Structure 1
Amino acid sequence: MDGDIGHNKRNTIGYFIISFALVFALSFLVLFFLEKEVRTTKIEAVQSQEQRVVKLESDFMGREFSMVLSDLHYLHHAFENELLDTNSYVNVAANWAEFSTQRRIYDQIRYIDANGDEKIRINISEKGGYIVPAKDLQNKKDRYYFTETVKLNEESVYVSPLDLNIEQGKIEIPYKPMIRLSTPVYDEKGKLQGIIVLNYLADYMLSGFRDLANNSQGEIILLNANGYSLSSSNPENDWNFMFDEKKEKTFEHDFPNEWKSLIENKSQFTTEKGLITVTPVVLSHKFNADKMNIHDQQIILGDGSWYIVSLIERTQKNGELFNDNVWAMGLDVFVKNIYYFILIGIISGIVGFLVYVNRKTYSRIKYYSEFDPLTKTFNRRAGIAKLNELFPSDDRRQFLGSLCFIDINGLKEVNDTLGHKLGDELIITVADIIKRTIREQDFLVRLGGDEFLIVFNGIGIDMAEKIWERIVQEYNQINNNEDRAYLISVSHGVVDFDNKQKTHVDDLISAADEKMYHEKQIIKANLSVIKEHKKI
């Protein structure tokens, strides 16, 4: 008795430790994941906000370019015929000067003929657009924007690199960011006559870009295809490619891993440097789409794609935005909830005692609610429930199975003649051989009395019958080699089913039962399960 008391005490302490460990672990995990969810929510909110900001920036720049491209389209098609007539240049220049005055975003508007000679040039001043005299017009055949544009198909546009304007070999001060957009002009025979060039004052676009950047929690940067900053919160970092002493200072130089991910078209990612959100600047504009094949239209970027980058660098203040230090987060959760974990210890003592008192009772009740105590197989209720679980909820998932209904021949005769002890032995032997022979994924159900059901998971009738043949061979070996007072004889019937059939489980069992019944009638015609020399 004392030994039992000591054993009970050890069990109680063991259950206390287990209960405390489980409740502590569960509570800690719940609190940990709640903390993680809170941080994740904050992170997702920041990620979503940065995605919105870079999209706003991209949409804004897209609209700006669309506006400029529309202006180029207008100047091309509104004056296309007049540009083919040198006598109309005066009228075109006057109209373009007025257009320049109204828009005030173009440093120059020019028409250059196929030989590279400027025929019309409109400059902008504080008073508005004005026509440059013919004597001041120049030949531009060697300029990159001319040589690139004359190669293009009609309706195509060349967009020059965004850079700083240079006058007389020197960068103009204050800085004047400039983009040149040009499109070729063809006559009705398809012969190149010249190009129209817009010198867009990009400071208007960059100013709007910086205003929208204020919505970001980090730093918004506009990069060209080579990783040079075109616009950032620190002007000292911009336009480095224009200065020999700064050409090594690129985004790639400062953030090599991030640049690699960026050019691999990853839109948002976290690194040791921080949270990076990227979107390319997409230029899209359709010229005269009703007359042109869309494949003939091109927008050629002189320096490749631009990227809008949001960078939130890691700092002590925004550490919660980077949820990757598990140990630090765990320690923070423990410190915040220390009194709660003490309470868990008290509750765990009670839980441990209750677990100890009820565990055996609960296990016994659960076992006998699911298993047949004689054969240790599923009982009818649990077996049918497990069978129903095999049917997939998704009809698209392929599934195949078979049911084998089994009836032990002559069980009543064995019970009546030899006694229930040998009758139980017969039942147990039949069940044990089946359980030993079927596959791991199959299972046996005792429906009641002398009736069983084998559930074959994933195979049809043919394969199920082969397994049944092996079971029968085992029974025959016992009949031939063991000196039992009875013969083991079992009737069976097999049906298969798949996910395409809408048959109820009870109907499948009935169909298998019917097949078994036909076989039983044949077997019982000449069967006596009690061996002659054993009959009393």
Structure 2
Amino acid sequence: MVTNRETINVPFFKTVHFFLLLLLLFGMGGWFFIDFFYKMEFESLEQALKTQEVNTLKFQRIEIEDILTDIVKDLLFLAMQNELKAYFNSEDQEWLDAIEREYKQFSMRKKKYDQIRYLDNSGQEIVRINYNAGNPTAVAKEKLQNKSKRYYFSDTFRLKKDEVFISPLDLNIEHGDIERPLKPMLRIGTPVFDATGNKKGIVLINYFAQELLDALRINSNISKGNPMLLNQNGFWLLHSDPEKEWGFMLKERQDANFVSVYPEAWQAMLSQKTGQFLTEKGLFTFSTIYPLQEGFYASTGSRDAVRPSAASLNASQYFWVLISYIPPHVFNAHLKSFQFKFLMWGGGLFLIGALAAWLMAFSIVKRRIYEDTLLSMALYDDLTSLPNRKYFWDKLDEGISHARRYGNKLGLLYIDLDGFKAVNDKLGHESGDELLVEISQRMLNFTRETDTVARVGGDEFAIILFQVDSVAGLLTVGEKLIQKINEPVKIRRKTATVGASVGATIYPGSAKDREKLVNLADKAMYTAKSKGKNTCFHV
């Protein structure tokens, strides 16, 4: 017979036992899910942080390349100045005055050149315009200096026509001493010639390199990393602590360099052009920039005002290393902050499952919004690395503006690949992508450095020719381009061939704005396609 006491006591202990078992099972299950989502989100956050650093460097690299391209364009424009050519023919003071006026206007408009100079064959300054804090001033004739012993003169003067010298990025020197406050400078020069091909000296511009360094600082605001820029010897050109910069020029800072502080990281960076690695000293994301393009030259320069360069540098020897660096305490603090938050979220998940679902959705949406933001900022096509449609419009605006100001003709080619769909259908989309990459590279190799090749659609491309002579010349370029595109492409042991229908138009012409210009080129392209394809037609 069972008593009442036994009836009460047995269910109580069984309930406690079952409760503890369920609690254990539920706790184990809850811990499993918390641990699973924690690892997933932790890795995602770490990867997002790394991706953010990589994308920051991409934008900074684009900024540097655009700045250097603009400087070289400005230099070559000055070298072709009509007033300068007229002076070579007559050596009339009237033309020197005209050169001064043109240099002043150019300096005021650009606002980024400390000096614009023309030096004759002896190294004597003939015309020199100082920016003078926004009030460009011509240096009086009696104050013009002879720069024949400065490395940048001799290194530029020895070049051939259309070749460009780019100095090391260093500090400005005046009267034999480093100028104070420190003034970062990049000197870019090219020799100039008279109508008969005789060398008549050099044109030299001193670029305010602080503009470039400031641009890198501003672009780094979207990331957690500190921006750094190193020269090829590992000295800081840019650092979060200005007292560590310019160690290769300032004796009191000669021990302040990246190589001595991070020797292992420096060796890793020298072994590859771009990369990212995490060490006990922090997260390093880097990209090597080679400013020297074909026809460009550089040298080691010299800190001494009257010493020549120690050696000339080729394209592989003259480089900068762009770095985004997150110190360990910043990197770990960022992740520890996440850990604390996730523990709080995990506790909420254990008590209220709905709260965890909301937090997970919030995390995913936030991450996707962040990725979409990065994607919208992209300027280049992911497959071909060519400028995309947005960047194409920007470059077209720039080209039209330049043509209006200087009376040049701008050419536009609109290209549609013939037979591309057949390649896709026969060989597959991956092979089609490889074909697009190869055709894009051919277009880049075919065009000039100053031209712009863009991918504006699936198999549609556009080429902006910043200076053309005539319609006939533009059509000749289009026909030669078709020949290049027609060459067989080897894809995965198979051969594919495509053609191209090219529409050509010139500004100024029938079109008065960019939309009309593009519409005309597009119309000409379809006309070329209707005439049997694989041809170039002008409207």
Aligned to 1:159, which of 166, 175, 197?
166
Question: Who is 1:36 aligned against?
Answer: 39
> Given that residues 163 and 179 in structure 1 are in contact (C-alpha distance below 8 angstroms), is that contact kept between their aligned partners in structure 2?
yes
Match of 1:138 among 139, 145, 150: 145
Instruction: Tell me if structure 1 keeps the 8 A contact 2:245–2:256.
Output: no
Residues 25 and 207 of structure 1, relative CA distance in 2, 3 Å threshold: same
Distance 2:331 2:194 in 1: 64
1:110 deviates by 0.7
Supply the distance in 1 between the matched residues of 2:296 and 2:213 (Cα, whole angstroms). 24
* Matched positions, count: 310
The residue that corresponds to 2:88 in the other structure is 84
Q: Closer, same or farther in 2 for the Cα pair 1:184/1:33, shift >3 Å?
A: farther
Aligned-partner SS, 1:175: coil
Task: Letter of the 1:256 partner, please give it.
Answer: P
Report if the CA contact (8 A) 2:155-2:299 is conserved: no
- CA offsets, 1:248-270, max 9 Å, x none? 21111111111111111242111
- Within-5 A mapping of 1:74-223: 74-79=77-82, 81-85=85-89, 86-87=91-92, 88-126=95-133, 128-223=135-230
Say if 1:269 and 1:277, in contact at 8 Å, map to a contact too.
Answer: yes
C-alpha distance 90-237 of structure 1, shift in aligned 2 (>3 A): same
TM-score between both structures, scaled by the size of structure 2: 0.51
Pairing of 1:1-40 with structure 2 (within 5 A): 32=35, 34-40=37-43
C-alpha deviations, 1:13-60, integer Å up to 9, x for none? xxxxxxxxxx99999887655433212111111111111111111111
The residue identity in structure 2 corresponding to 1:178 is: M
Give the direction of change, closer, same or farther, for the CA distance of 1:218–1:84 in structure 2 (3 Å limit): same
Match of 1:315 among 305, 329, 333: 329
Out of 288, 291, 294, the position equivalent to 1:283 is: 291
Distance in 2 between the 1:298 and 1:30 partners? 59
- Partner in structure 2 of residue 464 of structure 1: none
2:264 aligned with 1:254: no
Counterpart CA distance in 2 for 1:159 and 1:45 is 37
Match of 2:278 among 266, 270, 276: 270
Report the AA paired with residue 309 of structure 1: I
Q: Distance in 1 between matches of 2:324 and 2:331?
A: 18
Q: In 2 relative to 1, CA 201–280 (structure 1 residues): closer, same or farther, beyond 3 Å?
A: same
**What per-residue deviation string (whole Å, max 9, x for no partner) do you get for residues 419-459 of structure 1?**
xxxxxxxxxxxxxxxxxxxxxxxxxxxxxxxxxxxxxxxxx
Cα 1:216–1:190 shift into 2, 3 Å: same
Residue 50 of structure 1 aligns with which residue? 53
Evaluate the alpha carbon distance shift between residue 234 and residue 81 of structure 1 in structure 2; reply closer, same or farther with a 3 A threshold: same
Between the aligned partners of 1:121 and 1:70, the Cα distance in structure 2 is 19
Residue identity matched to 2:85: N
Alpha-carbon distance in structure 2 between the residues aligned to 1:244 and 1:103: 34
Q: Which amino acid counterpart does residue 56 of structure 1 have in structure 2? A: F
Q: How far has the Cα of 1:72 moved from its partner?
A: 0.6
Match runs of 1:263-412 below 5 Å: 263-264=270-271, 265-283=273-291, 297-300=295-298, 302=300, 304-315=318-329, 318=332, 321=335
SS at match of 2:222: coil
Deviation at 1:143, TM superposition (A): 0.8
Q: 2 CA distance for matches of 1:125 and 1:102?
A: 13
State the one-letter code of the partner of 2:329. T
Larger RCO (CA under 8 A, 6+ residues apart): 1
SS of the equivalent of 1:74 reads: helix
- For 2:168, the aligned partner's letter is P
Q: Specify whether residues 39 and 113 from structure 1 end up closer, same or farther in structure 2 by C-alpha distance, changes over 3 A only.
A: same
Secondary structure of the equivalent of 2:329? coil
The whole-number CA distance in structure 2 between the counterparts of 1:302 and 1:69 is 20
Distance change (3 Å), C-alpha of 1:316 and 1:247: closer
Counterpart-to-counterpart distance in 1, 2:105 and 2:48? 48
| Secondary structure of the corresponding residue to residue 318 of structure 1 | helix
8 Å CA contact 2:229, 2:321 repeated in 1: yes
Over the matched positions of the two proteins, sequence identity in percent amounts to: 32
Secondary structure, aligned partner of 1:138: coil
The letter for the 1-side match of 2:296 is: Q
The residue aligned with 1:378 is none
Q: What's the offset of the Cα at 1:309?
A: 0.4
- Is the 2:285–2:324 contact (alpha carbons within 8 Å) kept by the matching residues of 1? yes
Contact 1:104 1:128 in 2 (8 A): no
Task: Return closer, same or farther for 1:224/1:73 CA change in 2, 3 Å cut-off.
Answer: same
Q: Contact 2:107–2:113 (CA<8 Å) still a contact in 1?
A: yes
Corresponding position of 1:62: 65
The secondary structure found in structure 1 opposite 2:53 is helix
Say if 1:111 and 1:119, in contact at 8 Å, map to a contact too.
Answer: yes
Q: Which has the larger radius of gyration?
A: 1
User: Unaligned regions of 5+ residues in structure 2, if any?
Assistant: 1-25, 302-317, 351-539
Task: Give the match's secondary structure for 2:122.
Answer: coil
What is the identity, as a one-letter code, of the residue corresponding to 1:210?
R
SS in 2 for 1:84: helix
Judge conservation of contact 1:267–1:277 (CA < 8 Å) in 2: yes
Sort the Cα spacing of 1:312 and 1:302 in 2 relative to 1 into closer, same or farther, 3 A. same
- Cα offset, 1:82, TM superposition: 2.7
Distance in 1 between residues matched to 2:334 and 2:136, nearest whole Å: 54
CA contact (8 A) 1:58 1:280 kept: no
Contact 2:85 2:195 in 1 (8 A): no
Cα 1:121–1:24 change in 2 (3 A) is same
Instruction: Name the aligned partner's letter for residue 124 of structure 2.
Output: D
Structure 1: state its 5+ residue gaps: 1-22, 286-294, 323-328, 341-536
CA contact (8 A) 1:218 1:311 kept: yes
> Are residues 93 and 36 of structure 1, via their aligned partners in 2, closer, same or farther at CA, if it must alter by over 3 Å?
same
